[in-house]
Amino acid sequence: MKVTDKLPSGLNIQANRVAVAGISSGGFMTTQLQLAYPETFPLAAVLAGGPYDCLKVAGAMAGCLSPSALTDQQLTSAVNRAVQNAKDHSLGDLNLLNHGSIYVLYGTADQVVGTKIAGAVTTFYKKLQATLPTQLAGLQISEDGTHRFGHTFPTYLPPLPDDDCIKSVSPYLGHCGFDGAKNILEHLYPDIKTGDQPDGAAGAITKLRSANSLPPSAAYAGKFVYVYTPKACMNGQPCGLVLALHGCNQNETAIGLKFVRDVGFNRWADDYRVIVVYPQTRTVDQNYGGCWDWWGYTGTQFDTRAAPQMAWLNRLVNRVANLSGH
């Protein structure tokens, strides 16, 4: 695969069909990104993640991992923090989520983040909507916590004898017989109906230099970003975009391109008419195998628009999609 500075020509990305979807630390990052940049990410899907400012209201990382649970008071505090941060312009204009959506997915066998923390994402958004009932009346909130899989990204592949779907082992792409990527895309783009099997039209993976989107050193960006462009999105056809965020120990350093190639979004990209952007973290001692920052290793402003990692991801999407007015 050649390194390039150019995407296929003629991309036509619709701003209202841009989404962020992430697993584990990428799931925590997803909630932060949607609140920090609702003008860029009206749509979001969180897999095995946690609510905004979980660590700040829980007081410690352990309070955001299994078997912990957040109290109603802690979740109310998280909502109040988000609302105040938006008023202070540390987050985006939350009114822009009125026509947006959030989908929450987690497995019943997750023993890392756990069902209580993962399910708290739904409660957070419902409390946020109740706090801003007029502004967020149109926000669509949905959840599915009924499928049996562990702390892994479930794929359509049939279960193996060692059951990596439940055990949650590297590369954290479980053979579950449950297509998590399709399930997420169904909720992000409910207007599109597909068959049981993907169209299968060929697409192309572009390897971009992260430096082109100007990540500061504190963003801990990996050297490359990978972009999958399906045939359906070439030649100017209107399409959406999914920013797909890996979890801890799922970046290129840890597992090569397995997440990029095998997580499942590329299989369905033609059917749902989306390009898929796969940014990578840079692994350092502070981020536990390349996690996205939801606790502050990039700085004290990690949960705001001033966060170097989030600012880079927002800039990356806007450059890839060539969105105007952002």
Q: What is the pLDDT of residues 17-41, one digit of tens each?
A: 999 999 999 999 999 999 999 999 9
Q: How far apart are CA 23 and CA 75, in angstroms?
A: 21
Q: What is the pLDDT of residues 207-265, one digit of tens each?
A: 999 988 888 899 999 999 999 999 999 889 999 999 999 999 999 999 999 999 999 99
Q: What is the pLDDT of residues 112-142, one digit of tens each?
A: 999 999 999 999 999 999 999 999 999 999 9
pLDDT(7) > 90: no
Question: What's the count of helices (H) and strands (E) in the chain, helices before strands?
Answer: 10, 11
Distances (CA, A) of 309 to 11, 30, 86, 89: 25, 12, 18, 17
Q: Considering the domain boundaries, does residue 254 fall inside one?
A: yes
Q: Considering the domain boundaries, does residue 258 fall inside one?
A: yes
Q: Considering the domain boundaries, does residue 326 fall inside one?
A: no
Q: How far apart are CA 276 and CA 218, in angstroms?
A: 24
Burial of 281 (0-12, 13-18, 19+ CB in 10 A): buried
Q: Considering the domain boundaries, does residue 160 fall inside one?
A: yes
Helix extents (H) in the chain: 25-36, 54-58, 72-87, 115-131, 164-167, 180-188, 252-255, 258-262, 265-272, 308-321
Q: Considering the domain boundaries, does residue 227 fall inside one?
A: yes
Residue 278, beta-bridge partner list: 226
Q: Which helix (H) or strand (E) element contains residue 144?
A: strand 140-144
Count of other CB atoms within 10 angstroms of residue 214:
13
Q: How far apart are CA 245 and CA 29, in angstroms?
A: 8
Range of the domain at 22: 3-321
Question: Which 3 state secondary structure label does DSSP give 277?
Answer: strand
Q: What is the pLDDT of residues 147-168, one digit of tens each?
A: 999 999 999 999 999 899 999 9
pLDDT of 325 reads: 42
Name the CA radius of gyration of the chain, rounded. Answer: 18
Question: Which 3 state secondary structure label does DSSP give 52?
Answer: coil
What tokens appear for 159 in the block?
């279960």
Closest C-alpha to 276, from 249, 257, 256? 257
Q: How far apart are CA 244 and CA 59, in angstroms?
A: 28
pLDDT(193) > 60: yes
Question: Which 3 state secondary structure label does DSSP give 45?
Answer: strand
Please give the model's pTM, rounded to 2 decimal places: 0.97
Number of domains in the chain: 1
Q: Considering the domain boundaries, does residue 246 fall inside one?
A: yes
pLDDT(191) > 90: yes
Q: Considering the domain boundaries, does residue 101 fall inside one?
A: yes
Residue 6's pLDDT band (boundaries 50, 70, 90)?
confident
